[in-house]
Amino acid sequence: MDLLSLIREKSKSFVDSEFYEGIEAVILHISVAESHLENAKKLGEYLYTDVIYRTNQAFEGALKEAYRVLAGKNPSGVSPFTIEQYLENKGLLRERVLAQFKNYRTEWRNAWTHDYQLFFTSQEALLAIVSISAFFSILLDQMVERYAHDQEKLKLRERSYSLARQVPNYAKLDFLDQCVELLKRFSIDIERDAQGSRYPSEYEILGKLSGFISESDPSVSVTAEKVVRDAGRRLMLDLVLEKDNRSVIVELKRPSMEWRRRFREGLEQLKTYLVATGSDEGILFVPSLNRESIGVEKRTLELGNKKVRIVLIGPNGKQT
């Protein structure tokens, strides 16, 4: 796997943003670190030490850009240590991002890594590159989602979007049906935006979706990537929508040519999450990006000795 190419692809989500220059600077530090690793074979082992210095610069830059996107704060004049403490103490980094953050900081940000008399080996240099690349890659996922969330809310405000105008009887609907309407309206919205533009990633879609729901119906509590544990397993729920003591789990699947497989896999995941959480309402959602009409199929299933309601939403005729 070429982690740097993967990072470059994810960075495209920020091309039109004020964050892009800083993200590009982080990518440059990682790229130079890789060059030092390769050149050390010919020019000398001292370049392995330069690799560590470059990955540390990439780490600091990554945290600064995360501070901009996730905290909405300007990192200028703020020390890297202060930013590290803020992101960790405020709980802004999700569990898997935080794990990689702590790993890099423990292994490569210790005082001994700043000893000017110290020399690193090729293996240590390689591990440092892999560590910073993995951290920045999954950090970018969270940043992409947050940025898409904020941009979607801003777009709806600028349009003066009104869900009441789109669905006049919305307030009278059952909560599960309200969730269905929100997802259908979102699919129409994102389909319009996607025409002629870059195909959005799953994290972009997730961020846009959470922003759309939050702005369209502020009474709905939206939690993205909620972690639950069941019998030693760590499960990640794409979206949980809550209102008036009701809870609906949403499993999101990115549009794909393999519709039947995506729906089949998504449905099995959703069943697992409903059993693990004890919830009795869930939605499998595949938005349309190709001007296809949206179909809705409702099912009642027996799971774990209880009845659950599941709704499949996707391009017409593509459900399982």
With a CB cutoff of 8 Å and minimum separation 6, the contacts of 162 are none
pTM of the model: 0.90
pLDDT, tens digit, 9 for 90 and up, residues 161-193: 999 899 999 999 999 999 999 999 998 888 766
pLDDT at 30: 98
Residue 294: pLDDT band with limits 50, 70, 90? confident
| Confidence at 109, pLDDT banded by 50, 70, 90 | confident
Tell me what the pLDDT averaged over the chain comes to: 90
- List pLDDT tens digits, range 21-73: 999 999 999 999 999 999 998 999 999 999 999 999 999 999 999 999 999 99
Per-residue CA distances from 204 to 25, 84, 150, 250, 308 (Å): 22, 25, 11, 16, 29
State how far the alpha carbon of 273 is from the alpha carbons of 160, 227, 276, 298, 305, in Å.
36, 11, 5, 18, 15
CA angle 181, 185, 189 (to 5 degrees): 165
* Count of CA atoms in the C-beta half-sphere (13 A) of 118: 17
Length of the chain: 320
Query: Could you tell me the domains of the chain?
Result: 3-143 (1.20.120), 161-315 (3.40.1350)
Q: How does DSSP classify residue 305?
A: T
